[in-house]
């Protein structure tokens, strides 16, 4: 898949530069510095006190999976896992690209079916919403769960003034919607 996006010459050059280095490429003075650091005994400090119950309520414990995912329905977790797994398999991505570019999508009923599946799986997983208002709702729900989101506005290619103006207006509308969100709930 990468060879379709990145020219083969760059990939070969990258492979050469990353695979021909000697295994022990550290500088001798760096090894001496590490050895001298290991000889010194660090001063012992008492361990920090355990967090209070109020602190632990806001503390993000990555080992507590039940608490981490308690706000997310199991069906959403399974769909997310399936989508991420499918997008990690090159041949599945190739079939998806072929399907989206095929002439079958020019037929009404087939196009509707493929677009419905794409919207329900990949689009809902990777996009916050179809417009700025829907994205704002998604970011509010993420913020209510105690998390933060990153709002990225994607535009389509514009080759004329009308398209550029439409993209600019959409971007400005997204900025206006982000102003209505709680402070620090979103970053650009």
What integer pLDDT is reported at residue 179 of this predicted model? 78
What integer pLDDT is reported at residue 113 of this predicted model? 87
Regions of the chain where pLDDT drops below 50:
1-3, 16-35, 37-38, 52-56
Percent of the chain with pLDDT over 90: 5
What pTM, to 2 d.p., does this model score? Answer: 0.50
pLDDT digit string (tens) for 153-166? 676 777 888 988 98
What integer pLDDT is reported at residue 64 of this predicted model? 83
What integer pLDDT is reported at residue 42 of this predicted model? 54
What integer pLDDT is reported at residue 131 of this predicted model? 78
What integer pLDDT is reported at residue 163 of this predicted model? 86
What integer pLDDT is reported at residue 89 of this predicted model? 92
CA gap 182, 188 in Å, rounded: 14
What integer pLDDT is reported at residue 62 of this predicted model? 79
What integer pLDDT is reported at residue 37 of this predicted model? 47
């Amino acid at each position: 898949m990468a060879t379709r996006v990145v020219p083969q010459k760059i990939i070969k050059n990258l492979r050469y530069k990353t695979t021909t280095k000697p295994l022990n490429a550290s500088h001798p003075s760096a090894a001496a510095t590490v050895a001298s650091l290991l000889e010194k005994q660090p001063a012992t400090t008492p361990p920090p006190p355990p967090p209070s119950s109020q602190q632990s309520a806001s503390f993000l414990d990555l080992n507590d999976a039940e608490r981490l995912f308690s706000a997310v329905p199991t069906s959403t977790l399974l769909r997310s896992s399936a989508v991420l797994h499918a997008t990690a398999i090159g041949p599945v991505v190739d079939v998806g690209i072929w399907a989206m570019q095929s002439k079958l999508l020019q037929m009404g009923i087939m196009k509707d079916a493929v677009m419905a599946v794409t919207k329900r799986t990949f689009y809902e997983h990777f996009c916050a919403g179809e417009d700025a208002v829907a994205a704002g709702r998604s970011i509010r729900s993420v913020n209510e769960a105690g998390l933060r989101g990153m709002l990225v506005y994607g535009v389509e290619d514009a080759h004329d003034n009308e398209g550029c103006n439409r993209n600019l207006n959409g971007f400005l509308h997204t900025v206006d919607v982000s102003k209505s969100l709680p402070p620090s709930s979103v970053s650009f």
